[in-house]
Structure 1
């Protein structure tokens, strides 16, 4: 009855002259009876699940953010000037190494090549005749038919013409290159960006960028990690045990494994981090240059630590805590210190001991010292608490 649990204020217990003495005594007896029932009543055991504290190795996991970068970026410029007569590529097109992208009017360069070729042929003939004359003058000099000075002048002209032929050959090679440069081809496999010039435009040599080609198979991932983990990362790199995984943000796909390819040679003094780059195959083009990704680095700890299920540790104003089940099936609240959490497990530095039993579910109904009913068959004493 609700009235049984109402305890009147001491001032209200004064005998009212209008209330009969017998009624007042009856009221006192009823209150005493209700008080005894409250003392006898006990709360039932709280149903909980438990787990054992384990001493084992747990990975050190570093979670950070990274940016996808094209593995190779090539801004194409023309090596010769002239008019673009044909653009063979479209914006965003996938290109292969050697694909023709632009054609520049090659007629001026063809004409220059023909002229140089003609000069080469002329100078070759002159050099051959000069060499013949030099041999003849040398024979005549041996017979004292010509002076030594005339012989050397003839040899000098012959050697000069030979050098002229070599100059013509070099000029012809350069002219051939100019003709070849009129056909601009892709130097890599990749994805074309926006076409920055139109057909009919006149361009200068090595001036404006025509298009940018990005290699996206593979890609690079740029990220930074705190310098605190530097020595441990270097050790895992040396042992080839560094587990590096990349996952797109807000994506359901599984993370992909990447290989660390670069670690900067200095720590950034402004942020206390060190920059790294990893290579990713990206065969299905899941990642795109400029995209933000989640980067996870897993490293094995060097010594065993106390490990509990993550749900066993709860936050409070005084810090993180866990409930420990004692041998009498009552619980004790312990303040714990967290080292790290990985894949549903939390490593603790203090607060619990190896082999102790902790609560993993049912915290909301617990108070220190209350009885519990372990639903886990692996709980204390190895069996479930019997219910009557």
Structure 2
């Protein structure tokens, strides 16, 4: 009897055979494609070597060196306002005028009282002089002479008192003109003309100084100790220099110095309040603005800098790719610092002889053969 395979088994065998042939053909095609792929083209640069100064960076707020609430020193009705809201004023500028007429009248009254006191003084002097001869001739008693002498002393005291009344009245007349006590920028007027002003109570406006400005920030305990040690070592004889940048500025274009460190450390936060002073000749800075502060906190030394575009992240760790002598990409973990001159400081992981991939990093993996072109490090500002 013949072994006859069912028709379905024969068909299945033919399908399996065909599938195996196709898979073999596919594998062979993939190997040829891989071998034919071109090498990724990348651009590489050597790290730049520059002098680096270790710095500490903080955030803070600007504050005026002087801040004044303008108040009147005499009471009265406000007659004139002589400034523009938000404008610049100088020390001695006339800002407000209080109706001076009541005080002018008091001054005239005090001057009249002074003249009366002077007249009484002259009369007392004459009486005493006329009593000297009769006293020698014993025509009058010594008691009467003493009375006239006491009257002269009283008249002299009355003149001094009247003179003080005149001085006070004249001073009050001057106080009807409210002048700026400092140079700076004035706020809006807080009271309008015609209102009653109460001496030493009514706030008329506020003035804050403009140049220089303070910048306040909080530093940690380690930084405080580092600055103290630098001062003790004599490396900061001229004071601790300070650089500052505003929120819309690149880098730290403003220069100043650290002029105050609070003697009390915040035990809860482990920080200390510090203050720098910054020149502001053009009036750009305003009280309350956010500021970035940088302070040199170490020694100058040679360091390596690379472009930020060469740095990638792998599970929270930074790395770069360098091209080896056999033209393959190699993975290098790096430790980076702040920006300087448009480049990132690399404190560990690279040497000056390494060729770092700065363009084309996304096309390579560790061990990938590459076609490298040497260029200058991009991004340097000087």
How far is 1:300 from its partner? Answer: 7.8
**Distance in 2 of aligned mates of 1:59 and 1:26:** 68
Can you give the 5+ residue segments of structure 2 that lack an aligned partner in the other structure?
1-8, 378-382
Q: 1:308 maps to which residue?
A: 305
Give the 3 Å change call, closer, same or farther, for CA 114–277 of structure 1 in structure 2.
same
CA positional deviation for 1:137 = 3.7
TM-score (norm 2): 0.77
Give the match for residue 374 of structure 1.
372
Give the equivalent residue in structure 2 for 1:222.
215
Corresponding residue number in structure 2 for 1:333:
331
Aligned residues of 1:46 and 1:365 also touching (Cα < 8 A): yes
Give 1:195-274 correspondences, 5 Å limit: 195-216=189-210, 218=211, 220-227=213-220, 228-230=222-224, 231-232=226-227, 238-239=237-238, 242-247=241-246, 249-250=247-248, 256-260=253-257, 262-266=259-263, 268-269=265-266, 270-271=268-269, 272-274=271-273
Q: Residue 78 of structure 1: CA displacement? A: 1.2
Pairwise CA distance, 1:79: 0.9
Determine the C-alpha separation between the residues in 2 that align with 1:111 and 1:20: 129
C-alpha distance in 2, partners of 1:303/1:95?
A: 44
Cα displacement (A) at 1:171: 1.2
1:96 deviates by 4.5
The aligned counterpart of 2:152 is 158
Moved more, 181-190 or 111-120: 181-190
Q: Tell me if the contact between 1:305 and 1:349 (Cα under 8 Å) persists in the aligned partners.
A: no
The alignment of Structure 1 onto Structure 2 pairs a total of residues equal to 358
Distance 1:256-1:360 versus aligned 2 partners, 3 A rule: closer
Alpha-carbon distance between aligned partners in 2 of 1:318 and 1:211, rounded to the nearest angstrom: 53
**Alpha carbons of 1:116 and 1:34: their partners in 2 closer, same or farther (altered >3 Å)?**
closer
What's the CA shift for 1:68?
A: 3.9
Q: How much does 1:224 deviate? A: 0.8
Give the whole-Å Cα distance in 2 for the aligned partners of 1:26 and 1:295. 68
2:100 corresponds to which residue?
Answer: 106
* 1:60–1:340 Cα contact (<8 Å) kept: no
> In 2, distance between residues paired with 1:336 and 1:255?
26
Distance 1:86 1:53, change over 3 A: closer
Of 318, 321, 327, which residue of structure 1 is paired with 2:319?
Answer: 321
Cα deviations by residue, 1:259-285 (Å, 9 ceiling, x for unpaired): 3363233365154143314233242x4
Measured against aligned partners, the alpha-carbon deviations of 1:210-262 in whole angstroms (never above 9, x if no partner) come to: 2223444x252423142344434975764467352333x346x8965243363
Offset from partner CA, 1:146-165 (integer Å, 9 cap, x none)? 44444333322212221221
Equivalent residues in 2 for 1:33-48 (5 A)?
34-35=27-28, 38=31, 41-42=34-35, 44-48=38-42
Query: 1:359 deviation in Å?
Result: 2.2
Bigger drift between 104-113 and 190-199 goes to 190-199
Equivalent of 2:170, from 148, 164, 176? 176
Question: Structure 1 length normalisation: TM-score?
Answer: 0.76
Q: Secondary structure at the match of 2:167?
A: helix
* Secondary structure at the counterpart of residue 75 of structure 1: strand
Within 5 Å, give how 1:128-147 maps onto structure 2. 128-147=122-141
Shift of the 117–359 alpha-carbon distance from structure 1 to 2, 3 Å rule, reads same
Does the 8 A contact of 1:68 with 1:289 survive in 2? Answer: yes
Q: Structure 1 unaligned segments of length 5 or more: list them.
A: 1-15, 380-388
Displacement of 1:45 after TM fit? 3.1
- Cα 1:46/1:56, change in 2 over 3 Å: same
Pair 1:20–1:81, CA change in 2 (3 A): closer
